[in-house]
Amino acid sequence: MARTPNFDTLAIHAGQEFDPTTGAVIPPIYQTSTYVQESIGHLRGGYEYSRGGNPTRTVLETLLAALEGGKHGLSFASGLAAEDTILRALLAPGDHIVLGNDVYGGTHRLINRVHGAWGILNSTVEMSDLAAVEQAIIPGETKILWVETPSNPLMKVCDIAALAQIGHRFGVTVIVDNTFASPALQQPLALGADVVVHSTTKYLGGHSDVLGGALIINDDELAEKAQFLQFAAGPVSAPMDAWLTVRGIKTLSVRMDRHCSNAQAIAEHLQGHPAIDRVYYPGLPTHPGHELAKKQMSGFGGMLSISFAGGAAAARSFAEATHLFQLAESLGGVESLVNYPSEMTHASVRGTELEVADNIIRLSVGIEDVADLIDDIDRALGSV
């Protein structure tokens, strides 16, 4: 029996057989909304209408499942569409979610303001404090433990295996947002998580040219519920978006190697700079989650944050002075980006426990030459 291919091979080949009609190496984009039936109720390949299924999306969903080591992959129009679907599949009014106190602002907005209006309750907790997590769970009411590691933007590292054990002891579904690490660096299902969620816009797509989201699920019943919502509510990825994401995933592993090495070099360069209070990067031995990250990740990622000794004015000056690091939301593309979370990605959590200090800048380190990136940073620091 043939062994399962390694990750880099799966990223290029899983779900991507050549086209049997023409021999095309790359599966085509099936830019169609509907499919001719052989006869009433007899479908060709199971395809009826593209909200329910599309061959290009099937390629992506097969690939996503293979990369995360899961049974079922589902592809969505955005990361938040994927999150909304799994919340609907698991929750009813009166249910409770425990989530970290440092998660993506859009996730908290979706849970707190959209689902909160329908009677879903939530508590935020320091996810690295296992005793606090256990205390926050309300037996019989808590249905989801929402884990983001590394977290956005403070790069906190949480023990997925330990959190999965706690969640399962209380009958809670453990969901891990794996966007920052990507499956190239971390595979939460193998550590005991029940569901993995991605914004495929980020590292999986990798080129800042497509929006998308994903769920990877092992449980057949839960996957069926999510697939029903995917069909009934329609938050699916379009064929071109699915194709672009597959194209991006082919180079995921080699891109992550460069993202990681560049981020490590920049984090080490920034440590000890008089303008900077702290560098948040799990690859630094001084990071409180460094040893855990070494254990559950194969690399430390391309994201880092820095806090400025000069407060908000210094942080804003730096963010507006870089050139190669372009001032923009999002992350995970080949190009480097700088973000001011308190007024950009995390503006919606001001006044909550998740509020991000106004002296913090988040860097999405791209795959450019690291010497050029460091030079850009040094020039911007000169303006602080």
Residues marked active site are found at: 51, 104, 177, 202
How many angstroms separate the CA atoms of 66 and 183, rounded? 10
Q: How far, rounded to the nearest angstrom, does the alpha carbon of residue 374 sit from its chain's CA centroid? A: 26
How many angstroms separate the CA atoms of 81 and 212, rounded? 8
User: Do 153 and 345 form a contact (C-beta atoms < 8 A)?
Assistant: yes
Tokens of 8: 């880099």
- Choose among 155, 166, 176: nearest CA to 283: 155
Reported as half-sphere exposure (CB side, CA atoms, 13 A), residue 214 has a value of 34
How many angstroms separate the CA atoms of 250 and 64, rounded? 11
Under DSSP, is residue 322 helix (H, G, I), strand (E, B) or coil? coil
Strand partners, 175: 146, 195
